[in-house]
Amino acid sequence: MSETNRQGAAAEIIFSGDELLRGDTLNTNQAYLGQRLLDLGIFATHALCVADDLQAMVRAIRASLERHPVILVLSGGLGPTDDDLTREAVEEALGRPLEHREDLFELIRARFVSRGMVMGDSNRKQASIPQGATAIPLTGTAPGFHLQQGDTLVVALPGVPWELQQMWEDTVEPLLRARPEGARAAQTVRRIRTFGIGESTLAETLSEFDWHAPAVTIGTRAHLDGVTVILRGPSAAGGGGGLEAVETRIRAILGERVYSLNDESLAEVVGKLLRRIGCTVAVAESCTGGLVGKRITDMPGSSEYFLGGVTAYDNRIKTEVLGVPADVLAVRGAVSMELAAAMAEGVCRLTGADCALSTTGVAGPGGGSDDKPVGLVYIGSVVKSVTSVERLHFPGQREHIRERAAFAALDLLRRRLLQQPPA
């Protein structure tokens, strides 16, 4: 995300764990916390990963507090082992002795009992928190805690993602929302999710704006499912003021490339459109190997509109199951516009679906040629008996090409469904 305006409330995050630095564990907590903070109008200006070393953690905490963030989040290091050092680091950095809490000890013991397990002696250390801290209710077996240190709310959370997320949403967010507005400089955040336009092209398209204007800051975040335009500015009564005007103008410029204004995924948007027009869908996949069907069925309630799919990797499945004419394969080949159309039409016949998607292409790393290079993908679609095919060329490694193709298939269906009247 490119964003340089640092006005308003600031947050810092320190992650502890050798496993994060080694790459053994993917640090998904950083993405989660960064987005949740931004939704509160608080920008994370620093995010640091520190080894399981007491003095390194103490130095990191002290350095952060010298910058006076509104909140300092400590993630990880609250377990029972010798390398879980967050409690001790806070004790030394803040000069707050650890205090044993018998009530926490009993809660931890009860949690073990409820799981049919016996608590070990090492877990006793988890019942100690810094003097003056408030414990955060258990989600696993590691209590979190929070305390006020000068201008900064210091929050310690477990590193296990689902435990961290529950504690954040149940305890920490309510604390931040309850803070006086003067303490956290309220901001409004708007997200405009787009597909089918690259980050550099999008920047050129929106060149009429000052991306670093004090009133409204514009940033972008690029992922395989498109580019999100992130707007941030002071909250204003009556609908956002300048922020709302910027959002309206950007939406007008980008047109149908915009697929969501409230952080919905492409699959969510497609599902809502299918419900709106009363249509069902099926998929026939070759190069994506079931990814399109997975994306659709990731959505709760997708059984209302998703009938099924065929992963037709072998040409025999294309002809014998989907009914693709043998001469299409013989003349046009397995990666062609005609083949994509025949696959989509075939799965419609097979399932009785109103709509269909198909994918066929060269995902690599081998198998490409001058005429059909690695990254070439044809996406077929049928909507109410009308067939359409798009030819696309995706960069990246095999997994990225397959993921991009799956998202592009969903976006093609989204754009076609937008043209249909509601049921």
| Residue 327 CB-half CA count within 13 A | 0
Q: pLDDT tens digits, residue range 38-56?
A: 888 888 999 999 999 999 9
Evaluate whether 80 touches 120 at the Cβ level (below 8 Å): yes
Domains annotated on the chain, with CATH? 10-184 (3.40.980.10), 187-260 (3.30.70.2860), 266-417 (3.90.950.20)
| 3-state SS assignment for residue 375 | coil
DSSP assignment string, 76-94:
S--SSSTT--HHHHHHHHH
Across residues 26-32, what is the average pLDDT?
94
Q: Determine phi and psi for 91, rounding to 5 degrees.
A: -55, -50
Q: pLDDT tens digits, residue range 382-391?
A: 999 999 999 9
**Higher-pLDDT residue of 82, 283:** 283
Asked whether residue 184 carries a pLDDT value surpassing 50, the answer given is: no
Asked whether residue 324 carries a pLDDT value surpassing 50, the answer given is: yes
Q: pLDDT tens digits, residue range 251-278?
A: 999 999 999 998 899 999 999 999 999 9
pLDDT score for 235: 61
Across residues 346-368, what is the average pLDDT?
97
Please state, in angstroms and rounded to a whole number, the distance separating the CA atoms of residues 232 and 214.
Answer: 10
Mark out the alpha helices in 172-305 (DSSP H runs): 173-177, 181-184, 199-205, 242-254, 266-277, 291-297
C-alpha R_g of the chain: 26
Evaluate whether 313 touches 284 at the Cβ level (below 8 Å): no
DSSP assignment string, 228-257:
EEEEEEE--TTT-THHHHHHHHHHHHHGGG
Please state, in angstroms and rounded to a whole number, the distance separating the CA atoms of residues 183 and 187.
Answer: 12
| Cβ neighbours of 179 (radius 10 Å) | 16
Q: Determine phi and psi for 223, rounding to 5 degrees.
A: -140, 175
- The pTM for the full model equals 0.80
When pLDDT is cut at 50, 70 and 90, the band that residue 238 belongs to is very low
- CA–CA distances in Å: residue 255 to residues 209, 219, 273, 288, 418: 17, 18, 17, 28, 12
Please state, in angstroms and rounded to a whole number, the distance separating the CA atoms of residues 112 and 141.
Answer: 8
Across residues 48-76, what is the average pLDDT?
97
Look at the block and give the residue holding tokens 């258990």: 138
Across residues 99-104, what is the average pLDDT?
93
pLDDT score for 18: 94
pLDDT score for 112: 86
- CA–CA distances in Å: residue 187 to residues 10, 96, 139, 259, 391: 11, 33, 30, 24, 42
pLDDT score for 186: 57
pLDDT score for 181: 46
